[in-house]
Structure 1
Amino acid sequence: MRPPPSILVVLHDFALGGTERVAVRLAAAMAGQGASVTIFAGSGSGPLRALAGSQVEIVVADPPIPRARGSRRRLALATRTFVDRRRFDGVYAPGNFHWPVAAALGGRGIAVLAQVSAALDKPQRGRWRQWAFETRMRYLLRRADAVVALSDVARDQANRILRRDVASVIALPALDDAVAPPLPVPDTRPPVVLAAGRLVPEKGFARLIAAFATLPEDAARLVIVGDGPQADTLRRQSETLGLADRVTLAGYVPDIRPALDAARLLVLSSDFEGFPAVLVEALAAGRPVVATDCTPATRLLADGAGIVVPLGDTAALSHAIATMLAQPAPDPARLAASVAQHRIGAVAAAYLALFDRLRR
C-alpha cells in the first residue's frame, strides 16, 4: 500500500479572503482524509489560521514575509528553500495570487498543482492588459503539472491561454459536509436583502446601495456583511441617500449562515469574480440570488434560483431585486440540492485523487 501523500499548501498569510479561507479549510479536510498536510505561510497573521485545526502543520517563514511590493516573489523563493530542505509529494498553490510559487517549484521533482481562483478574461482589462495577463500566466504556470479551475468556462480559458490541456474542474469547496439543511424563508417585514464580501470598489456595493435607493421605502432592508477600506464611504453614501435606517453595514462575521437564514435573498453586485463561495453558500441555505454577470458561477442560478443582470446596470439591478421580492420564494430544499457537489469532503477527495495521479 502506498503511504499517504505529503502535501504542502502555500499561503501568503491567513488574512480574510475567499482564496485563503478555501485553502485553509481544504488543507484541514485533506488532513482529515489521511494526507500529511503542511501549510507554509509567509506570515502567521490573520484570523483564518484557526480553521486549519490540529491535524495540519503550520510553518511560518523566518523571517516573516508580510504583504508588500515584491513579497509574492520572496514567498516563492522562501518556499523553494523550504521544499529543498523537506520533501513533499505535491504542492498546492491556491489561486492566482500564489502563482509565483508554481513558477519557483516547477521542475524540481515535486507535483505542482495551481488553482485558478479569479476571472481569467476580464473585459475591463482591455486588449493589451489582457495580452499581458495571459503572457504572465503562461510564464508562471509553464511548469505546473496540473491546473484546477472552478468551472468549465475557466478550464477552457486556462487551456487556451496555457496552450496545453493541463486544466481540469474541481468544485469550489464552499460547504461543510455537515452543512445544516435550509430553513424556511422568514416572513420578516420588511424582508432582508443580504450582500456579503470585502468592502472594496470591485464588489459593487456602492452601485447596490444606489440601486436600493430606487426601491420603495418599505420594500426591504439591506444588510451588508463584511469589512474593508470602503466602509466609511459606503456609510456616508447611505446617509446621503437617506437610507441610514434601511442599510446596515454589519461588519465581519465568522459565519455567514445566520445572516442567510434571516434573509429573503442574496445580492452579488461585483464587477468580476472567480467563483464566489457566497453564491454557493446562499443556495445551500435555500436563498435565491440576484447577481451581476460577473462570474461563471451564475450558471447555478437557472430554473428560478436567481436572476442575472448586466454589469454596471444600476437600474437592472434594482428591477431584479424588486422582481425577486415580488414573486414567491423558490423551494429552499431544491436550491440546497443544486449545490450538493460543493461539500468539502468530496472536493478534498478529488484533490487527493488528482495528487495521486500526479505521483503516479
Structure 2
Amino acid sequence: MKILVILHDLPLGGTERVALRLTAAWARAGHQVTLLCGSATGAQAGLVSEVVELVECAPPIPRGLGSRLRLGRAVAEHLRRHPADVLFVPGNFHWSVCRSVAQGLRDNRPAIVAQVSSPIFKHGRKGLKQWAFEAGARRRLRDVDAMVTLSSQTVPETDRLLGRRIATAVPLPALDDTVHQADIASGKLIVAAGRLAPEKGYDIALKAFAKIADPEARLAFVGDGPLRAELEALADKLGVRDRVTFAGYAPDIGPWLDRARLLLLSSWHEGFGAVIVEALGRGRPVVATDCTPAVRDLLATPGRGRVAAPGDVDGLARALEAELAAAPPEPSALITTVEAYRITPVADAYLAVFEASQARHQTSVA
C-alpha cells in the first residue's frame, strides 16, 4: 500500500509524535510510506524514521496566515505527480487539507482518512464558537472516506457531526511493544508532565498541592513553557516552593514516572491525554481532571486513579490526598490495562481502516 501522511511541520506536539510512530511502523511492515511536510523543521525533525520517505514542500511552507491552504494545494500537486492509495490526515489542525485534495483531484484522489485528535466538544467552546467549529469541520471533512477517533466515546459524536457513520475508534499508540517492568512506588512524588501553558491548568495543580496536609508530598513539573516564571512565583506565594521542582523539558518522562508515586494531569482540555497511558504503562496511578476521553476510558475502574472536575482546586486536592494515603497499586495490574495502546496492534488497526477505505473509495468512483 502506498500511504501519504501530511504534517505541517515537526514541533513538540502529540499529533506529530503519534504520526511519526505510525509512519515508522507501517514502513517496517512493508508499506511504501511518504511523509510530506510543509516545513521539515521542528524539535521532532530528528525522529523521522530512516525507513520513511521524508519530503519537504518546495519552497517550504512555514506556519502562518493562509499556510494550511497553501499546504493543501501542495499536497494535491504532490499526489498528481506521485499517486498514493491512501492519504492520512493526522489531527484536527490539518483537516482543511482533505477539502483541498478532494477539490483539486476529484475522482483521481486517493482514499482520505482523517483523525480526530482533540474533542468535538471542548471545555470553554460553546454557543456561536461551537456552531462555527462544527460548520467548519463539516465543510473540511465532507469528502473523507473514514475518520479515526482515539476513543470509542468520540465515535458517535463524529458520526453525528458529519451525518455519516464513518468513524472508527483506534487506540492511541502511546507505548512501544516492550513491556516495562516496574517496582511498587515508594515516596510521595507527584509528577505533572507537559508544556507549561495555560490549558494545562498548572496554577490549579499548584493551588491543590498547597492544600495537601502531608509534608512528605513533593511535586515535579516535567516540561517547560511560557508560564514557568509565573508558576514559580505562584509556588513562592503559596509557600510550597521548597517542595516543588521545575525540571524543564525531558525527551523521555519514563525515568520521572519510575520515581513517582502518581501522575497528575490538571488540564482544562486534552486531545486524548497520552501521558495517562504512559503513566499506567509504567505502573503508576493517575489523578486527573475530566479533561479528555482517556479519563473515562482508563480511569473509571477503581485502583487506577481518581478524577476531579477541571478547575476544581478542592476536588483535586482531595483526590491527591486520597491517592497518596492509599496503598500503592501493584504495577503489573496497571500495566496490563494499556496493552491495546502498544504500537504494533494500533498500526495494524489503522491499516485495516486504510484497506476498507480504499475499497470503499474505489467502489464509489467505479
Query: What TM-score does the superposition give when structure 1 sets the normalisation length?
Result: 0.95
Task: State the partner residue of 2:364.
Answer: none
Q: Structure 1 counterpart of 2:91, which letter? A: G
Secondary structure of the 1:172 match is coil
Aligned residue among 20, 25, 31 for 1:24: 20
Task: State the partner residue of 2:344.
Answer: 345
Q: Structure 2 counterpart of 1:98, which letter? A: H
Q: Distance in 1 between matches of 2:241 and 2:291?
A: 28
Q: How far off its partner does 1:187 sit?
A: 2.1
Task: State the partner residue of 2:275.
Answer: 278
Q: Quick check: 1:7 aligned with 2:6?
A: no
Structure 2: gaps of 5 or more residues: 360-366
Q: Kindly indicate whether the alpha-carbon contact (under 8 Å) linking 2:113 and 2:357 is maintained by their aligned counterparts in 1.
A: no
Secondary structure of the 1:245 match is helix
Q: How far off its partner does 1:217 sit?
A: 5.9
* Comparing 37-46 and 216-225, the one that deviates more: 216-225
Q: Kindly indicate whether the alpha-carbon contact (under 8 Å) linking 2:123 and 2:269 is maintained by their aligned counterparts in 1.
A: no
Q: Kindly indicate whether the alpha-carbon contact (under 8 Å) linking 1:225 and 1:250 is maintained by their aligned counterparts in 2.
A: yes
Task: State the partner residue of 1:192.
Answer: 189
Q: Structure 2 counterpart of 1:341, which letter? A: A
Q: Percentage identity across aligned positions?
A: 48
Aligned residue among 64, 81, 84 for 1:88: 84
Q: Distance in 2 between matches of 1:252 and 1:123?
A: 26
Task: State the partner residue of 2:362.
Answer: none
Q: Kindly indicate whether the alpha-carbon contact (under 8 Å) linking 2:184 and 2:330 is maintained by their aligned counterparts in 1.
A: no
Q: How far off its partner does 1:57 sit?
A: 0.8
Secondary structure of the 2:242 match is coil
Q: Kindly indicate whether the alpha-carbon contact (under 8 Å) linking 1:8 and 1:39 is maintained by their aligned counterparts in 2.
A: yes
Q: Structure 1 counterpart of 2:272, which letter? A: F
Q: Kindly indicate whether the alpha-carbon contact (under 8 Å) linking 1:28 and 1:51 is maintained by their aligned counterparts in 2.
A: no
Q: Distance in 1 between matches of 2:303 and 2:230?
A: 34
Q: Distance in 2 between matches of 1:165 and 1:62?
A: 37
Within 5 A, what are the aligned runs for 1:116-135? Answer: 116-135=116-135
Task: State the partner residue of 2:363.
Answer: none
Q: Kindly indicate whether the alpha-carbon contact (under 8 Å) linking 1:95 and 1:118 is maintained by their aligned counterparts in 2.
A: yes
Within 5 A, what are the aligned runs for 1:287-326? Answer: 287-299=284-296, 300-301=298-299, 302-326=301-325
Q: Kindly indicate whether the alpha-carbon contact (under 8 Å) linking 1:24 and 1:51 is maintained by their aligned counterparts in 2.
A: yes
Secondary structure of the 1:286 match is coil
Q: Structure 2 counterpart of 1:153, which letter? A: Q
Secondary structure of the 1:47 match is coil
Question: Deviations for 1:278-316, whole angstroms, at most 9, x for unmatched residues?
Answer: 000000101000110111111211121011111211110
Task: State the partner residue of 1:136.
Answer: 136
Q: Distance in 2 between matches of 1:133 and 1:6?
A: 32
Q: Kindly indicate whether the alpha-carbon contact (under 8 Å) linking 1:185 and 1:261 is maintained by their aligned counterparts in 2.
A: no
Q: Quick check: 1:235 aligned with 2:228?
A: no
Q: Distance in 1 between matches of 2:6 and 2:249?
A: 25
Task: State the partner residue of 1:174.
Answer: 174
Task: State the partner residue of 2:63.
Answer: 67
Task: State the partner residue of 1:145.
Answer: 145
Q: Distance in 2 between matches of 1:235 and 1:123?
A: 26
The size of the alignment, in residue pairs, is 353
Q: Structure 1 counterpart of 2:2, which letter? A: S
Secondary structure of the 1:338 match is helix
Task: State the partner residue of 1:99.
Answer: 95
Query: What TM-score does the superposition give when structure 2 sets the normalisation length?
Result: 0.94
Q: How far off its partner does 1:12 sit?
A: 1.0
Q: Distance in 2 between matches of 1:17 and 1:231?
A: 18
Q: How far off its partner does 1:246 sit?
A: 1.2
Q: Kindly indicate whether the alpha-carbon contact (under 8 Å) linking 2:285 and 2:304 is maintained by their aligned counterparts in 1.
A: yes
Q: Distance in 2 between matches of 1:234 and 1:207?
A: 10
Q: Kindly indicate whether the alpha-carbon contact (under 8 Å) linking 1:185 and 1:263 is maintained by their aligned counterparts in 2.
A: no
Secondary structure of the 1:8 match is strand
Within 5 A, what are the aligned runs for 1:243-282? Answer: 243-282=240-279
Q: Distance in 1 between matches of 2:228 and 2:314?
A: 23
Q: Distance in 2 between matches of 1:353 and 1:240?
A: 53
